[in-house]
Amino acid sequence: MNHRPLPFWPLPALGLIIALTGSRAQAQNWDERPDGFAPIGISTDGEKAYGAWTFSYQNMRTDGSGLLDGRGQVTSADVFADGYAASPQSATREAHNINALFGYSESTSLLLTLPFLNNEVTMRGEVGQAYELRSTGMGDLNITSLFQLGHAEDEVLHAQLGVSLPTGSRDERGVTPLSGGISEKLPYSLQLSSGTLDLIPGITYVKRHESTSLGFQAKEIVRFKENSDNYQLGNVAHLSGWVSRVFNEDVSGSLRLGYRHEGRMKGQDPSIDPTQSPMHDPNSQGGDRVTVWAGVNYIETGGHSFGFELGGPLWQDLNGPQLEQDLSYALGWHYSF
């Protein structure tokens, strides 16, 4: 199996950030600085003052193409040789997150996150026919408490404890050339819910300087039992570290490194045929990814702020065959009052 080389584009992005850090920015009140909120791809980045609100919107999209088994590239012919009837060719996964953050007390904030998901996958059957699988709708509602562990003029430390409620659909269906005109259940990654009540613990630390800030966040989605369809998605762990630089009173840039681990599935949905494709196979789910992100934040008077990040994979090791990740982006808006 061939191994894909590391992408070149993160290197000039890193050089650009380093070059721009040569400029000086006048120190501001933390809440008035463009790096006062984390890169837009980071959620639950800080608590709010008592009685304060922040409403925000995040649009995150990831495209995928090409197949990996472990860290090695495979082809559709390899997939068919393994006994699958179809092979994934490309995918687009998009999330629209609506968030409301409220300062419940001097040391505790409450966050509600409601996602709307749009997933599309292009498949190819063994005899060459191409078709698409799609799912769209509301995902699982997250309710999170943020607890202030330490707050000084130049650093913030807080923990989070959230729950994910299974409000999304787990019966997404579609008709394919292989289904004989019958609407059948879509594969696991196209379902809109885990089907379980999940716990989401985490911790975030931010250190600020005159015109720079450093941040780190670790969080995990913990699943405790099988859902009513007899399977349990793997736990998901996220690690992110970033550096931000204030260029002027309105704009900051950031460079972020993210790691995502998704554990293996347990069990199997009896309505999903594991031989139809690797996406339908519970043994071909999960893996590890390292992604680098370059971003920009913009803040304006009146409580509005905007963010954008562009990300690309540095390293992937997947429980394949699976589609590998290509470019990703995240963009969003905050309004605080």
Tell me the residue ranges of DSSP E strands in the chain: 2-3, 53-70, 72-74, 86-103, 108-125, 130-138, 141-152, 155-165, 173-174, 184-185, 198-208, 212-221, 231-232, 236-246, 251-262, 266-267, 287-299, 304-336
pLDDT (0 to 100) of residue 282? 96
Query: What is the model's pLDDT at position 47?
Result: 67
Higher pLDDT, 148 or 164: 164
Burial of 168 (0-12, 13-18, 19+ CB in 10 A): buried
Fold of the domain spanning 2-336 = Porin (2.40.160)
pLDDT in tens, 249-299: 999 999 999 999 999 999 999 999 999 999 999 999 999 999 999 999 999
Domain residue extents for the chain: 2-336
Residue 288: which residues within 8 A CB-CB, separation 6 or more? 259, 260, 261, 262, 315, 316, 317, 318
Which pLDDT score, from 0 to 100, does residue 44 have? 75
Q: How confident is the model at residue 311 (pLDDT cuts 50, 70, 90)?
A: very high
Q: What is the pLDDT of residue 116?
A: 98
